[in-house]
Structure 1
Amino acid sequence: MKPIHLLPCVGAIVAASVFAAVAGANDDAKPKAASPIYGVTIPDKYRQWELVAPAEEAEPLNELRAVLGNVVAMKAYREGTLPFPDGTILAKLAWKHVQSPEFESASIPGAATTVQIMVKDSKKYAATGGWGFGRFVDGKPADEAQHETCFACHEARVQGHDYVFTRYAP
C-alpha cells in the first residue's frame, strides 16, 4: 500500500479557511450605520420580508408607505399576539405620494423619504416599552432629535397596541 501524503491537501484547506476568514472580516469591517439613542440598524434583506400593510400619510408628509415584518412579526400578527414577542422587527418604507402620469386617479411612489425600523427587545429597550427605533434617510440615521420623538408619539397614540400603529392587512 502506498503512503498517502495529506500535507499538501491540509495546507490548501487551511489556506482556503484563512482566506475565507480574512475576506469575511473585511466584509464586516464596515460597521452598519446605527440610530442614535437606540443603536438600531437596517436589517439585511428586509426588503424580502412580508407586507404587513400599506398606508398613506396625508399632509404635511404626503407619503405612501409600506410596513414589512420579519418572520417573528408576521407570526405575531397572524396569531393576534400582543404584546409582540422579542425578536419582532418592523420596517416602514416611505415615498413621496405622486399622481400617476398614466392614470389620474392612481398614485405612485415618488422619491424615497425614509426607512424606519422598530426592534422589540423587552430587556434592552425596557424604558421605551420594549422597542428600539431607527429612522434612516438615504441609508443614514436621522439626528438624535428626530429619534427622541419616536417613542413619545407611539406612547401617546398606541400604547394599548404594544406601541405599534400598523394593523395587519391579511
Structure 2
Amino acid sequence: MKRNLVLLLATAVSAGGFSLLAQLDDAAPFPKEFRTWAHVKSVLVGPQSAAFATEGGIHHIYANDKALEGYETGKFPDGSVIVYDLLETKEVAGNTVEGPTRRIDVMVKQGELYRATAGWGFMSFPSGNPAEGRLTAERQAACAACHAKRDDHDSVFSEFRK
C-alpha cells in the first residue's frame, strides 16, 4: 500500500511538471474570461481608415489586474495580460453594433520567457478560436518590432481611459 502511494505521488509530481512545461511552452494561453477584466478602451475603425481592410470594426481592449498596474506606472509587471478584441460591425436600424469576432490578439508579459521580444509574448486567435493562436517566430518578431514604437510605455500602445 505504501509503495502504491509513493508511486502515485511520483506520477502526480511528474505529470504536474510536464503540465507546467506545457504551459510555459504556450506563447500565451487563451484567456477565457477576458471580458470580465477591466475594460481599457474601445475604438471604432471605419471604412475611411487606411487600416480598414485588416482592422476595420470595433476594438475593445481588456487588461487583467497585473496589466492595470502597468497602465498606472507605464511599466508592466510579469503576468500582465492585455487582450485586443476585434469585432466586425453591422448596421441595425441605423445603429452600428458589434458583429462576429474577427480576431482576438493577446499580449502576455513574461520577461524571462520572451527576452527576444522585450518580455512580451504575442498570440492571435482568428475568429476568436482558442485552438488557433500560435504565431511563428517571424510574426512574434514583427509584433514586437511594431510595439517597440511605444518603448516609452513598455511596448503597449493603449492608454487607460480615465
Q: What TM-score, normalized to structure 1? A: 0.67
Stretches of structure 1 lacking an aligned partner (at least 5 in a row): 1-20
- Establish whether residue 85 from structure 1 lines up as the match of residue 77 from structure 2: yes
1:109-158 deviation line (CA, Å, top 9, x unaligned): 12211111111112211221111111111221255254442112112x32
Specify the alignment match of 1:117 in structure 2: 106
Match of 1:154 among 147, 151, 157: 147
Residue number in structure 2 paired with 1:95: 87
Aligned to 2:35: 47
Task: Give the helix-richer structure, 1 or 2.
Answer: 2
1:9-158 counterparts in 2 under 5 A?
A: 39-57=27-45, 58=49, 59-61=52-54, 62-77=56-71, 80-98=72-90, 100-103=91-94, 106-137=95-126, 138-139=129-130, 140-141=132-133, 143-144=135-136, 146-155=139-148, 157-158=149-150
Residues 86, 121 of structure 1: 8 Å contact kept = yes
Aligned to 2:5: none
Instruction: Report if the CA contact (8 A) 2:69-2:77 is conserved.
Output: no
d(CA) in 2 for partners of 1:142 and 1:87?
Answer: 18
Distance 1:56 1:146 in 2: 25
Q: Which has the higher contact order (CA 8 A, sep 6+)?
A: 1
Structure 2 match to 1:165 = 157
**Contact persistence 2:122–2:135 (CA under 8 A):** no
Alignment length (residue pairs): 133
Structure 2 unmatched ranges of 5 or more: 1-11
Change (3 A) 1:128 1:53: same
TM-score in terms of structure 2 length: 0.70
Instruction: State the AA in 2 paired with 1:67.
Output: I
